[in-house]
Structure 1
Amino acid sequence: MSGATVEQEHRADDGNSSVGFRSYNTKKTLAEGLLDIGLLVANATQLKTLLCLGSAAEYYYPNLVFISLSVTLQIVTGALLLVLGGIEGKHLEERRNVNRLNNVIVGFVFAITVINVFVAAFGIKMTEN
């Protein structure tokens, strides 16, 4: 069922098309934000561990770059989620902007996921010297 279909069905129910759709988007945005916080905490812990181990850690520089990039993208995504949550989307142009911003956020979340796969693949462990 597409978003347009849901919106049309809701409009047929009570004439206010944005309430149900807006509620869904608000809950989805909140869930994304909470997941982003969990991943941010995990990345901060990984970064702390990596910095404590220093350059003696295996794959120190790739991990440092990937974790730093992930944390940066998470902060940007969090800020974009705050902006998205504050947009009403009552007019057609606002709805288009909301859709574009939502697509950008989805792209950032995908990039964060891919980066964290590389962080997990490289792992953080001491070299045997």
Structure 2
Amino acid sequence: MESEREVIDLQAGAPSPRRNQPINLNHYATKKSVAESMLDVALFMSNATRLKAVLEQGPSSHYYITLISLISISLLLQVVIGILLVVTARLNLNEVEKQWRLNQLNNATTILVFTTVVVNVFITAFGAHKTGFLAAKTSRSHL
């Protein structure tokens, strides 16, 4: 009679030599930083597009100064986050003497990411455009 472990090993296929190796935390942290950097770049591009749209609308639009300020703050925070992520990705997590510094950098990055999310919520709230019935009614009243 086969044990449950043997059945599981047979279903999973031939045992892999990599399966029994411990995870490389440095490799994991680097991949995490790269993925976070890609998301930061996507948000940066989105905010650059928003900034362009606000500048094209001009100062006559509601909340012009507010949106310019919030988008600029968000872009600045994203640049700082990007720099922190590059520094974090370059340090080796496996070196014990660097772990405290990496933890501090990771905490700072997390706080800045949270702040950026909050700022972008306000950007979205102040930058909301009228849609549907209200937009049609407003555009007709200007004619």
1:54 aligns with 2:58: yes
Q: 2:34: which partner in 1?
A: 30
In the TM superposition, 1:7-26 aligns within 5 A as 20-26=24-30
- 1:122 Cα deviation from its structure 2 partner: 0.5
Regions of 4+ moved over 3 Å: none
TM-score, scaled relative to structure 1: 0.80
TM-score, scaled relative to structure 2: 0.72
Counterpart pick for 2:103 among 95, 99, 104 = 99
Give 1 or 2: higher helix fraction: 1
8 Å contact 1:70–1:116 — kept in the other structure? yes
1:36–1:30 distance in 2 versus 1, CA, 3 Å:
same
Aligned letter for 1:23?
H
Q: Secondary structure at the match of 2:24?
A: helix
8 Å contact 2:25–2:93 — kept in the other structure? no
- CA–CA separation in structure 1 for the residues paired with 2:37 and 2:95: 25
Question: Unaligned regions of 5+ residues in structure 1, if any?
Answer: 1-12
- 1:73 Cα deviation from its structure 2 partner: 0.3
Aligned letter for 1:77?
I
Question: Unaligned regions of 5+ residues in structure 2, if any?
Answer: 1-19, 131-137
- 1:26 Cα deviation from its structure 2 partner: 1.1
Q: Which has more radius of gyration?
A: 2
Q: CA RMSD in A?
A: 2.0
- 1:124 Cα deviation from its structure 2 partner: 5.5
- CA–CA separation in structure 1 for the residues paired with 2:36 and 2:95: 25
- CA–CA separation in structure 2 for the residues paired with 1:49 and 1:121: 15
